[in-house]
Amino acid sequence: MAIILTESEAKALCQKVLSYSKADECEVNILGEERGNLRYARNEVSTSGALINQNLQVQSAFGKKVGVATIDEFSEESFEKVVRRSEELARLAPENPEYVGVLEPQTYLKSNGFFESTAGINPDYRAGAVLKSLDLTRSQNMTAAGFLENQKGYSAMMNSKGLFAYYPSTSVNFSLTVRTPDGKGSGYVAKGYSDVNKLDTAAATKTAIQKSKGSVDAKALEPGKYTVILEPTAAAVLLENIFFNFDARSADEGRSFLSKAGGKSKLNEKIVDERVHIYSDPTHPDLPSSPWSGDGQAANKINWIENGVIKNLVYSRYWAQKNNVKPVPFPTNVIMAGGTASMEELIKSTQRGILVTKLWYIREVDPQTLLLTGLTRDGTFFIENGVIKHPIKNFRFNESPVIMLNNLETLGKPERVVSTETNSNYLIPPMKIREFTFSSLSDAV
Amino acid sequence: MQMSGLGLGAMMLPEVPVIGNPVREEQLLNPWLDAASKKKLAETALNAARDKGATYTDVRIGRYLQQYLFTREKQVQNIVNAESYGIGIRVIANGTWGFSATSDVTPDGIAKCAATAVAIAKANSKFQKEPVVLAPQKGVGDKAWKTPLTKNAFEIPVRDKIDLLMKVNGAAMDNGASFVTSNLFFVNEQKYFASTDGSFIDQDVHRIWPTFTVTVTDKASGKFKTRDAISSPMGMGYEYLDGLAAEKIAGPNGLVGYRNSYDMVEDAIAAAKQAKEKVTAKTVLPGKYDLVLDPNHLGLTIHESVGHPTELDRVLGYEANYAGTSFATLDKWKTKNFNYGSKLVNIVADKTRAHTLGAVGYDDEGVPCKEWDIIRDGILVNYQAIRDQVQILGEKESHGCCYADDWSSVQFQRMPNISLKPATEKRSVLDMIKGVEKGIYIIGRGSYSIDQQRYNFQFGGQVFYEIKNGEIAGMLDDVAYQSNTQEFWNSCVQLCDKDDYRTFGSFFDGKGQPAQISAVSHGSSTTRFNGVNVINTGRKI
């Protein structure tokens, strides 16, 4: 059997598995994926690898007693065994008070996240793409360390109420750090796509080389509050800490940045600048994602923050039922709307500020305020009177993305970025922020 | 770098790396192949690779077991029983590394896998400028090693483990917690290593980590505070949870430290009380303070500011695209007088110390494990290096710190235990605090961040106590300290003695692309650092 099943193959397989069920309710989840990667450092290939993964999970329920069993080898005899095993576990399990039963069939949006171009990536493609990058760094006497990883796969689910969902997808992520031979300059680039035809490793490498050369001989600025222009790669790693904390239950329980005095959540309150619009849309052509969430709920277009107001929170089906509201699944993608300003325009309109191209080692300092710490890395520049004056030494910052989005000056045009912390892809605009707090200097290059 | 464990979906359940597939609890106790059968399979791989043109081959046949339990308040959220079984074959052909792995552990599957590894090596050799040079390693013949333990955690029924966690959660709730989550993590690596050097090594490695987070919310003010367990992950069996009185270390103000035995219920009670106290604790005035750092806190600072910068692959640039490089460059080391820290700072690397996460008999290149100095009397004297690196240091023998997190991952240099030696003169924590005029006593692992060359760092903690004129003056909140690695270690002025020595551990340390996890311990006694910059992390949103 192939690893990547078509929709009809997946459907037939799910039906076969479900046909063995004797439980009150049954749900089948399957996935298959193939991954490949090539890693290089010091201008030479260091490691390469490939991974094939498939998995079938059966959840059976008798009343509120639930059991889950899994297999990774697909064979006729294993399908019945895994169903029996999940039923056996369900009978032994204590009642799960938060079990709300399987979902009725849903209607899903159409989203195209599978590209034949990416699905066809082979080791030769990876070697060729990396060679294009290495040729440039070697010929310019720069030192490259990079990573190229591609993935194709699908996931599908079916339950005893007749729900069926299927979603195939592909992705390719490329990241590269280019250092000057004396170690005084460093530049970075990361690109993520669903369609590999959009990936140009040579063009990306030129960006990293340019940043690396431009960051040599950085000067120290005093730590303090500065106007900053965050490139989307830098903004993403701060903003995703907001995305991860959209959970209604934590907010209602009083342990989230969205909790407030008196025991209520901040739902429907303005929490950031009114120009901030953060939403999810699985059908967005630049960031296609699954039209269904892990539990089978339809992942529809939804606003999280609109006009600066927190409009929706994630409600698990259990928490929604308990609070008598509609469930809201966890998003399958996150997009921040932007403006029209180009990077050049953002810089040109800045009298005194700092251009941040990448942030590193972001950690939450205080969950109450989402205060984060981390450092600038691989190219930080001083802007004066609308032009980049010179590279500056890296800073440590202590800042909350909530405070940051209240200090918003201008938004640029969103672009697809790869989080350097979590590898997640987002659409994020470059942004100009006033009074961003840098707390100390770092000697790191 | 520490795995942050976040990702889309992170809010639903604690997300931790799970390797392998869920299996029945009983299956974790199934006997595995005997050493003779594994040797036979390994020889199939060694021969197949040689036939295809490999000049060196090592084989790891591995069975990796994990049992993870997650609870909150009165509920069991999830129980993971996972098993991963397969073979990884690493070869040198045309002077280049090649690696391939398969779960098809049959003679046919193994032969195919070996052929793929050789083919990859040959293909990648087109990129290679210099051939791989391996430090010699004499074959050790047939050997076996097992984590010394008295209670195999996998033999303890899940029911008993749930009962313990429910007791922990109940104790926290009875003592003022608003919420509590608690977890138990158990890992067993059964791995068989064989190489063309003539080594056939059978190892059975066990690790344990009990932990929890207590949350106290104050509805009126909307404030909430947490306190995590001050347990340490250990290279031990279930006996770590015995809570032996002899392994407790009494600290100031009724605080308790745990050496090689942990009382989870007692710590949960303390945590609930401390989290409650944190809600109304005084916010810190920023400035310079003398810091008294508990081993359960200092371990992470050692990990980030000494452990990572002295990894030779980072120093050389192999991790430049992700984890970064290092300020501890070879030219600094070559001067033989690079002042990493004050004269009191003696830091050793080891993979031998009992009860630690790093302890094994042999590393994943079949090198017998040992102890060596990294910093002696404050001077940087060595790095962490493996077989294809030690010649860069002018050494002829690998340090024995190569590791792969699964049979399917390729082994590379990973951090051994990196520990700060205690004082030789007698000194307790109370003695140390008596000498501090204006300071902060910090316990537990909090927020952490360090730059990509390991100069500038910021650390928080779990609980903070103000020290005024030699005495604890009450709890502080909103504390984090920032420093520069060299400046910080040079501000080390006093250490407690071996009676206070304990290990801190990191169960999910991340490195590499694709990322691999590893577990590592860091021992120290309570240590004093003078004049460190403390910031206030309180904000309003």
Please state, in angstroms and rounded to a whole number, the distance separating the CA atoms of residues B136 and B214.
Answer: 51
The residue among A169, A175, A365, A404 with the most chain B CBs within 10 A of its CB, best to mutate, is A365
When CB atoms are compared, the residue of B120, B178, B456 closest to A444 is B456
The 10s digit of each residue's pLDDT in B449-485 is 999 999 999 999 999 999 999 999 999 999 999 999 9
pLDDT at B20: 65
B50 within 8 A of B92, measured Cβ to Cβ: no
pLDDT at B274: 98
B411 within 8 A of B421, measured Cβ to Cβ: no
Give the three-class secondary structure for B176. Answer: coil
- B21: confidence class by pLDDT, cuts 50, 70, 90: low
Mean pLDDT estimate for chain B: 94
Give the three-class secondary structure for A424. Answer: coil
> Is 80 exceeded by the pLDDT of residue B24?
no
Element counts in chain B: helices (H) and strands (E) = 9, 28
When CB atoms are compared, the residue of A186, A361, A369 closest to B541 is A369
| Residue B352 structure tokens | 């031998």
When CB atoms are compared, the residue of B11, B453, B535 closest to A250 is B11
Contact with chain A for residue B159, Cβ under 8 A: no
Whether residues B123 and A123 touch (CB distance < 8 A) is answered with: yes
- Give residue A302's Cα distance to chain centre: 17
Whether residues B455 and A147 touch (CB distance < 8 A) is answered with: no
pLDDT at B18: 62
Q: Residue B398: which of B380, B410, B381, B416 has the closest Cα?
A: B416
- B1: confidence class by pLDDT, cuts 50, 70, 90: very low
Distance (Å) from the C-alpha of residue B246 to the closest C-alpha of chain A?
35
Angle at A427 between CA A425 and CA A432, to 5 degrees: 120
The 10s digit of each residue's pLDDT in B282-308 is 999 999 999 999 999 999 999 999 999
> Is 60 exceeded by the pLDDT of residue B380?
yes
When CB atoms are compared, the residue of A254, A360, A375 closest to B222 is A254
Please state, in angstroms and rounded to a whole number, the distance separating the CA atoms of residues B98 and B125.
Answer: 9
Task: Write out chain A residues lying below 8 Å of B1, CB-based.
Answer: 361
Whole-prediction pTM: 0.95
Whether residues A367 and B224 touch (CB distance < 8 A) is answered with: yes
Task: Write out chain B residues lying below 8 Å of A263, CB-based.
Answer: 219, 222
DSSP letter for each residue of B415-445:
--EEEEPPBSS---HHHHHHT-SEEEEEES-
DSSP letter for each residue of A205-266:
HHHHHHHHHHTTTPBP---EEEEEEE-HHHHHHHHHHHHTT-BHHHHHTT-STTB-TTS-B-
Longest dimension (CA), chain A: 73
DSSP letter for each residue of B474-487:
EEEESEEEEEEHHH
pLDDT at B11: 30
pLDDT at A197: 98
3-state percent helix, strand, coil for chain A, nearest multiple of 5: 25, 40, 35
The residue among B159, B407, B513 with the most chain A CBs within 10 A of its CB, best to mutate, is B513
Q: Residue B185: which of B259, B257, B78 has the closest Cα?
A: B78
> Is 60 exceeded by the pLDDT of residue B2?
no
Contact with chain A for residue B25, Cβ under 8 A: no
pLDDT at B8: 29
Amino acid identity, position A20: Y
Kindly give the parts of chain A with pLDDT less than 50.
Answer: none
Q: A–B: how many Cβ contacts below 8 A? A: 209
When CB atoms are compared, the residue of A85, A250, A364 closest to B447 is A364
Task: Write out chain B residues lying below 8 Å of A254, CB-based.
Answer: 178, 217-219, 222, 224
Whether residues B455 and A368 touch (CB distance < 8 A) is answered with: no
Q: What is the mean pLDDT of residues B186-206?
A: 98
Q: Residue B233: which of B210, B214, B266 has the closest Cα?
A: B210
Q: Residue B432: which of B529, B534, B296 has the closest Cα?
A: B529
Please state, in angstroms and rounded to a whole number, the distance separating the CA atoms of residues A283 and A299.
Answer: 10
pLDDT at A51: 79
Task: Write out chain A residues lying below 8 Å of B320, CB-based.
Answer: 41, 143, 145, 177, 179, 186
When CB atoms are compared, the residue of B11, B455, B539 closest to A400 is B539
Task: Write out chain B residues lying below 8 Å of A146, CB-based.
Answer: 321
When CB atoms are compared, the residue of A246, A400, A439 closest to B541 is A400
Which DSSP letter does residue B260 get?
S
- Whole-number percent of chain B with pLDDT over 90: 88
Whether residues A375 and B452 touch (CB distance < 8 A) is answered with: yes
| Residue B7 structure tokens | 């990702």
Contact with chain A for residue B227, Cβ under 8 A: no
The 10s digit of each residue's pLDDT in B84-141 is 889 999 999 999 999 999 888 899 999 999 999 999 899 888 777 889 999 999 999 9
DSSP letter for each residue of B322-356:
TT---SS-HHHHHTS--B-S-TT--EEEES--TT-
- B6: confidence class by pLDDT, cuts 50, 70, 90: very low
A366 to each of A397, B11, B127, B370, B478, how far by Cα in Å? 14, 16, 46, 40, 8
Distance (Å) from the C-alpha of residue A144 to the closest C-alpha of chain B?
8
Task: Write out chain A residues lying below 8 Å of B456, CB-based.
Answer: 375, 394, 396, 440-444
Task: Write out chain B residues lying below 8 Å of A421, CB-based.
Answer: 4, 6
B323 within 8 A of B199, measured Cβ to Cβ: no
When CB atoms are compared, the residue of A71, A245, A396 closest to B11 is A245
* A-contacting residues in B 347-376 (Cβ below 8 Å): none
The 10s digit of each residue's pLDDT in A407-431 is 999 999 999 999 999 999 999 999 9
Task: Write out chain A residues lying below 8 Å of B482, CB-based.
Answer: 396, 439-440
Contact with chain A for residue B32, Cβ under 8 A: no
Q: At B385, give phi and psi (nearest 5°).
A: -145, 155
* A-contacting residues in B 280-309 (Cβ below 8 Å): none
pLDDT at B19: 62
Please state, in angstroms and rounded to a whole number, the distance separating the CA atoms of residues B102 and B115.
Answer: 12
The residue among B4, B8, B100, B486 with the most chain A CBs within 10 A of its CB, best to mutate, is B8
Contact with chain A for residue B460, Cβ under 8 A: yes
Please state, in angstroms and rounded to a whole number, the distance separating the CA atoms of residues A170 and A172.
Answer: 7
Distance (Å) from the C-alpha of residue A442 to the closest C-alpha of chain B?
5
Domains and CATH numbers, chain B: 21-279 (3.30.2290.10), 282-536 (no CATH)
Q: Residue A400: which of A436, A442, A359, A439 has the closest Cα?
A: A436
Q: What is the mean pLDDT of residues B511-526?
A: 95
pLDDT at B12: 31
- Whole-number percent of chain A with pLDDT over 70: 100
Which DSSP letter does residue B254 get?
G
Please state, in angstroms and rounded to a whole number, the distance separating the CA atoms of residues B229 and B213.
Answer: 6
Question: Does the ipTM exceed 0.90?
Answer: yes
Please tell me which residue of chain B has the smallest CA distance to A374.
Answer: B449
